[in-house]
A and B are shown apart, each in its own frame.
Chain A
Amino acid sequence: GEDVEQSLFLSVREGDSSVINCTYTDSSSTYLYWYKQEPGAGLQLLTYIFSNMDMKQDQRLTVLLNKKDKHLSLRIADTQTGDSAIYFCAESVKAAGNKLTFGGGTRVLVKP
């Protein structure tokens, strides 16, 4: 079955790096994703990684994928107050029509 789990909360000081972790159970995941949700808003796709990759970097964002341990992380460098939001990891499986399965979300609070 599909199960994606994340820690609930992360507090970080402005300028520091944030690391948000996610674990998943479906070994047939095709892609893994990180979304950002600001209060009262929909989801914004931040980045995604194909399951045969182990790292992807995009400006301040670095995604690490450990397929053996089914562990995904998102590192945000030089965290800003505007990064305060809820971050969801998600997976999709080609055999399931590429439907997205979301984790519970990690609330990130950036303190000045």
Chain B
Amino acid sequence: GAVVSQHPSWVICKSGTSVKIECRSLDFQATTMFWYRQFPKQSLMLMATSNEGSKATYEQGVEKDKFLINHASLTLSTLTVTSAHPEDSSFYICSASRSALAYEQYFGPGTRLTVT
């Protein structure tokens, strides 16, 4: 149990276009979903926290108009990178939590985004 999927697993897009990444909890309902960004050989940086049906809470320094998060249901959250630029190229990882306890936060396999 507690499986989280991401789609796509990798994507290449042209500079200036937008790309959407999906995060799904497959066998549980997620009260909260998190989006992280990971640069090569670096740690995960939390970008935003989203709860179903409400606006996402963005971490300091994360542009909410650039990284649009929609949490439409208890099993699906999407991250849209708008007007992508090469510096947005990164590994994006989502996690889904089925409770308020951080150890019940389950991670997706990640999406590698390359902007050319």
**B26–chain A nearest beta-carbon distance, Å:** 13
Could you give, for residues 97-112 of chain B, a 1 whenever the CB lies within 8 Å of some chain A CB and a 0 otherwise?
0001111011111101
B114 → chain A closest CB, angstroms = 13
Is the CB–CB distance between A31 and B103 below 8 Å?
A: yes
Residue A40 CB within 8 A of the other chain: yes
A12-20, A53-61, A71-79, A92-100: which lies at the interface: A92-100
Whether the Cβ atoms of B46 and A100 lie closer than 8 Å is: yes
Q: Closest residue to A92 on the B side, CB-wise?
A: B102
Hey, which chain A residues are within 8 Å of B43, CB to CB? 88, 102-105
How far, in angstroms, from A71 to B3 measured CA to CA in the complex? 31
Whether B105 contacts A100 by the Cβ 8 Å rule is yes
- Contact between chains at B100 and A98 (CB < 8 Å): yes
Q: A13–B70 Cα gap in the complex (Å)?
A: 46
Q: State the interface size on chain B (CB cutoff 8 A).
A: 22
Chain B residues contacting A43 (CB-CB under 8 Å) are: 44, 93, 95, 107
Q: A residues within 8 A CB of B34?
A: 99-100
Give residues in B with beta carbon < 8 Å to A.
4, 6, 34, 41-44, 46, 49, 93, 95, 100-103, 105-110, 112
Residues of chain A with a CB closer than 8 A to B49's CB:
97, 99
> What are 16 of the A-B contact pairs (CB < 8 Å)?
A35-B107, A42-B4, A42-B108, A45-B107, A48-B103, A92-B102, A97-B49, A98-B102, A99-B34, A100-B34, A100-B46, A102-B43, A105-B41, A105-B42, A105-B43, A107-B41
